[in-house]
Amino acid sequence: MAIRGIRGAITVEDDQPELIYSATCELLDAIIKANAGLRVDEIASVFFTMTNDLVSAFPALAARQMGWDLAPMMCAREIPVPDSLPKTLRVLVHWNTATPQKDIQHVYLNEAAQLRPDLVPGLEAKSLS
């Protein structure tokens, strides 16, 4: 069995714990729905990053409250690249699965969809200008 990475990102309206928790749950729910067969007990680990303007909460807490309580998790700050998308929460879920990499569905929500238009249905033809 291989370990596959599932990437995802979502923007958060403001730096408030309840908004960070809500965005985390929305993103993880969308990842579960997009990847048929994903079970929480198959998650090897989860790595969260947030931009420097999000500091009021740990997204891992929301994941644990969703029942992801056995998977090791890490939270970190995103590299502060000038002009990068603000108020962005990113995740990399490591999944123990036989699913081929080409069948993994990555999830980008809200303004974060512009980060990877090639992975967001309906945005493939748009540029990042």
Q: Hey, which residues are catalytic here? A: 7, 64, 75, 78, 90, 108, 116
How many other β-carbons are positioned within 10 Å of the β-carbon of residue 26? 17
Measured CA to CA, the distance from residue 106 to residue 5 in angstroms comes to: 9
DSSP one-letter string for 33-69: HHSTT--GGGEEEEEEEE-TT--S--HHHHHHHTT--
Phi, then psi, of 108 in degrees rounded to 5:
-130, 120
CA distance 110 to 101: 24
- Spell out the residues 6+ positions from residue 126 whose beta carbon is closer than 8 angstroms to its own: 114, 117
